[in-house]
């Protein structure tokens, strides 16, 4: 279901295009989509990896390239930090077993 919903939202974002002043409703929809896509990218993890490129593409269509790049950097940093934490925990467990 997530996949189907995301496909529809990405298509909607591409149709909406960059934010404009012609319609407050269109601008609000664009903003809501942008915020949602940024949050999804920032979730990081393996669940969102397959969708990261599509989400970035949709954000670019909405005129939010900088937000897309920033969200990806955030997700990468968070994943790196999480991996380092797991390694640290494994080292501590290994030391505890050795003593």
pLDDT in tens, 2-43: 567 777 777 777 776 655 556 777 778 888 889 988 998 888
Whole-structure pTM value: 0.70
Q: Mean pLDDT across the stretch 44-48?
A: 73
- How many structural domains is the chain composed of? 1
pLDDT for 88 beyond 90: yes
Rounded CA-CA distance 6/51 in Å is 9
Q: Please report, for residues 31, 60, 78, 99, the alpha-carbon distance to residue 64 in angstroms, rounded to integers and kept in the order given.
A: 10, 5, 21, 53
Looking at residue 17, its pLDDT comes to 62
Q: Domain residues for 40? A: 2-98
Q: What is the pLDDT of residues 49-81, one digit of tens each?
A: 788 888 898 899 888 999 999 999 998 898 899
């Amino acid at each position: 279901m997530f996949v189907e919903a995301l496909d529809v939202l990405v298509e909607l974002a591409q149709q909406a295009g960059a934010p404009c002043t012609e319609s407050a409703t269109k601008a609000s929809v664009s903003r809501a989509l942008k915020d949602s896509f940024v949050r999804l990218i920032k979730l990081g993890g393996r669940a969102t990896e397959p969708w990261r490129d599509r989400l970035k593409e949709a954000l670019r269509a909405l005129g939010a390239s900088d937000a897309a790049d920033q969200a990806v950097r955030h997700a990468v940093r968070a994943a790196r930090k999480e991996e380092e934490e797991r390694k640290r925990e494994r080292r501590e467990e290994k030391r505890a077993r050795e003593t």
